[in-house]
Amino acid sequence: MNTVAKAPAAFDKQGEQTEEARVDAAMRSFVREFGVTAAVHMESCVRCGMCAEACHFHAASGEAKHTPIYKLELFRRAYFREASPFAPVIRALGLVKKPSIAELQQWQELIYDSCSMCGRCTMVCPMGIDIAELVKEARHGMFKAGLIPERLALMDRTARQWGSPATPAEDLPDILAEVSEEHGVSIPCDLEQADILVTAAPAELGDHTKALADAAKILNRIGVKWTMHQGGFDASNIGFNNGDLELQERLTRALIDTAMKIGAHTILLPECGHAYGAARWEAAKWYGHALPVRIIHMTEFLDELITGQKIRLKPIGQTATFHDPCQIVRRGGLEAAARRVLAALGFELIELQDHGIAGYCCGGGGGVVSNVRAAPLRHKVFEIKKNQVEATGAKRFVTSCGQCRITMEMGAKHAHWDRKTESLLELVADNLAD
């Protein structure tokens, strides 16, 4: 008997909730998000279409469903039905329908596979709607409904158990010892007192250990007392991307509370964009007051060392172009800092057609790079970046986000493109002057 294989589902689900319970869980979460700011944003959209032109996913696919504001349609409906000034009338007259489970399942693809929360749409919106932030808030409801991509859910479960999606905390000393031996650099672990708590992204504990070793090389060069620590070491914060607020808070507190425990005045974040968003800009909401420690990105740290003449660099003397990571530059404001470091390296910078706060996303942020199902669309997005890099004619291609680097390495492999994506941190470490 001939059988026809069924196509794989276009969505994943977790847990044993009924379909009705999933919808109700999502709606309850959506309603909790509707403060004054979200309400103003929901009321303000004039359907001008400018966000569509800004979105790399829409630019790559040309499909109307990838228009950023369309990705908020169910969130908008939930607002008008449950929280708007006329919500009781709207419900009574049935003017706005409650989202169905089928619509939530379709929505999973829109806000997890085809949105990296890069904020380029936010930047161009004439009404000032922070679309990226609203997508992040919408993900909170999808997590509560148990409707997130399974690969991200797996990383979420692992991080809940281990404190990192990459490795258990108890394995950290052994990993650091191996990295130390491989690269010939001292990496202190679990010091009882230090001035700087250094954190990592998962890849730096696996395939990209050179970045971790190079951070150690620079820190040891300047003679500061620093450490990594089992209590809080992974800054990537998978909860931030997934919409798992409980996990996001737990991972954030692990870093800050560990820093306070050892008397550190600074938490140094790795070359990771979403680590910067989660720890630098969102950490304060878990504490309700100004943070007791300073949290800085590796780019800021390198810039301060160079401008303060704590390190000197040997000039490379070639042309280079630079990919601006969205969470670090557009959402985080470190456009000038990265360029000062590039200048100190002696690069002649040739800017991409879209650069700085207007730069296109790598296409893998917000967990998209970890979502295997999103790979075909992500590869289309990569072509935009690839073409812009080639148009510069620059000899070197540099970025300051490890996740962007991984995304572009994957894109280059798929496209059979031989251009290497280089780390700003690693370039600085490799060119330290005596």
DSSP class of residue 289 equals S
Largest Cα–Cα separation, the chain: 76
Residues of the chain with CATH 3.40.50.1860: 163-304
284-323 pLDDT, tens per residue? 888 888 899 999 999 999 999 999 999 999 999 999 999 9
Identity of residue 229 = H
Question: What does the block give as tokens for 321?
Answer: 């172009």
List the pLDDT tens digit at each of the 434 positions of the chain. Answer: 344 344 445 689 999 999 999 999 999 888 887 777 777 888 888 888 899 999 999 999 999 999 998 998 888 888 888 888 899 999 999 999 888 999 999 899 999 999 999 999 999 999 999 999 999 999 999 999 999 999 999 999 999 999 999 899 999 999 999 999 999 999 999 999 999 999 999 999 988 999 999 999 999 999 999 999 999 999 989 999 999 999 999 999 999 999 999 999 999 999 998 899 899 888 988 888 889 999 999 999 999 999 999 999 999 999 999 999 999 999 999 999 999 999 999 999 999 999 999 999 999 999 999 999 999 999 999 999 999 999 999 999 999 999 999 999 999 999 999 999 999 999 999 999 98
* pLDDT of the residue at 19: 93
**Alpha carbon of 398 to those of 47, 240, 265: distances in Å?**
36, 26, 30
Of 348, 355, 349, nearest to 323 (Cα)?
355
384-401 pLDDT, tens per residue? 999 999 999 999 999 999
Rounded Cα–Cα distance for residues 58 and 267 (Å)? 37
Residues of the chain with CATH 1.10.1060.10: 19-148
* pLDDT of the residue at 73: 87
Fold classification of 19-148 (topology level): Fumarate Reductase Iron-sulfur Protein; Chain B, domain 2 (1.10.1060)
* pLDDT of the residue at 176: 97
Q: DSSP assignment of 61-104, as one string? A: H--GGG-GGGGGHHHHHHHHHHTSTTHHHHHHHT-SPPPPHHHH
> Which burial class, exposed, middle or buried, applies to 191 when counting CB atoms under 10 A from its CB (0-12, 13-18, 19+)?
middle
CATH fit for domain 311-430, picks 2.70.98, 3.30.1330, 3.40.50, 4.10.320: 3.40.50
Q: DSSP assignment of 184-231, as one string? A: T----BS-SS-SEEE-B-GGGGTTTHHHHHHHHHHHHHHT--EEB-TT
Identity of residue 45 = C
* pLDDT of the residue at 3: 41
> Which burial class, exposed, middle or buried, applies to 387 when counting CB atoms under 10 A from its CB (0-12, 13-18, 19+)?
exposed
The architecture of the domain spanning 163-304 is 3-Layer(aba) Sandwich (3.40)
CB 138 within 8 A of CB 111: yes
Identity of residue 290 = A
Rounded Cα–Cα distance for residues 16 and 25 (Å)? 13
Cα 364 vs. chain centroid, distance in angstroms? 8
